[in-house]
Structure 1
Amino acid sequence: MNPAPSSALFAGPFALGTLSAPGGPAFPALVTADAQVLDLRVAFDDERLTTRTLLESWETALPRLRALPEDTGRARMPLAEFRVHAPIAPRQVFQSGANYRQHVIDLHVAHRAPGDDRPEEERRAEAAEIMDRRAAEDLPYVFIGLPSALTGPYDDVVLPAWAEKPDWELELAVVIGRPAHRVPVEEALDHVAGYTIANDLTDRATVFRRDMPQIGTDWLRSKNAPGFTPLGPWIVPAASVGDTGDLRLTLKLNGETMQDESTADMIFDVARMVSYASQTARLLPGDLVLTGSPAGNGMHWGRLLRDGDVMDAAITGLGAQRTRCVAEEAR
Structure 2
Amino acid sequence: MATPPQRQVPFALVRLAADAGAPFPGLVVGDHVLDLRAALPGEADTVAGLLEHWDASLPRLRALAGDPAQPWQALDGLRVLAPVEPRQIFQSGANYRQHVIDLEVAHRPKDDPRPVEQARAEAAALMDRRAAEDLPYVFVGLPSSVTGPYDDVVLPAWAEKPDWELELAVVIGRRAHRVSEAAALDHVAGYTIANDLTDRATVFRRDMPAIGTDWLRSKNAPGFTPLGPWLVPAEFVDDPGKLQVTLKLNGDTMQDESTADMLFGVARLISYISESAELLPGDLVLTGSPAGNGMHWGRLLRDGDVMEGTITGLGTQRTRCVAEAAATS
The TM-score normalised by the length of structure 1 is 0.92
Match of 1:96 among 72, 89, 92: 92
1:290-316 superposed Cα distances (whole Å, 9 cap, x missing partner): 000000110111101000000011000
Contact kept, 8 Å, 2:25 with 2:44, in 1: the verdict is no
Give 1:142's aligned residue.
138
Q: State the partner residue of 2:111.
A: 117
1:167 aligns with 2:191: no
Q: How many residues align?
A: 317
- Aligned partner of 1:25 in structure 2 is 22
Look up the match of 2:6: none
Q: Which of these residues, 66, 76, 80, is aligned with residue 62 of structure 2?
A: 66
Amino acid at match of 2:192: T
Distance across 2 between alignment mates of 1:58 and 1:207: 36
Matched AA of 2:26: A
- Could you say which residue in structure 2 is the equivalent of 1:7? none
Contact persistence 1:107–1:299 (CA under 8 A): no
What is the aligned partner in structure 2 of residue 247 from structure 1? 243
Q: CA deviation at 1:213?
A: 1.8
Give the Cα separation in 1 of the matches to 2:66 and 2:266: 31
Structure 1's 296 and 223: CA in aligned 2 closer, same or farther, altered over 3 A?
A: same
Shift of the 188–233 alpha-carbon distance from structure 1 to 2, 3 Å rule, reads: same
**Percent identical across equivalent pairs?**
73
* Letter of the structure 2 residue corresponding to residue 32 of structure 1: V
Gaps of 5+ in 2: 1-8
Q: Does 1:284 align with 2:275?
A: no
1:80 is paired with a residue of what secondary structure? coil
Q: Does 2:323 match 1:324?
A: no
Shift in CA distance, 281/120, structure 1 to aligned 2, threshold 3 Å = farther
Of residues 22, 45, 50 in structure 1, which corresponds to 2:46? 50
Q: Could you say which residue in structure 2 is the equivalent of 1:232?
A: 228
1:38 and 2:27 correspond = no
Residue 158 (structure 1) aligns with:
154
Letter in 2 for 1:202: T
User: Against the structure 1 CA distance between its residues 204 and 120, is the aligned structure 2 distance closer, same or farther, given a 3 Å change threshold?
Assistant: farther
Report Cα offsets for 1:10-60 as digits up to 9, x if no partner: xx5210000001121110110112x11111111110287210111000001
CA spacing shift, 1:261–1:277, aligned 2, 3 Å: same
Q: Equivalent residue of 1:178, what SS?
A: coil
CA distance in 1, matches of 2:86, 2:168: 16
Q: Could you report, residue by residue, the CA deviation over 1:62-118 in whole angstroms, capped at 9, with x for unpaired residues?
A: 0000011222222111101200000000100000001001111222344x37x6432
Structure 2: distance between partners of 1:209 and 1:324: 28
Deviates more, 1:131-140 or 1:307-316: 131-140
Corresponding position: 1:197 with 2:186: no
Task: Tell me what 2:266 maps to.
Answer: 270
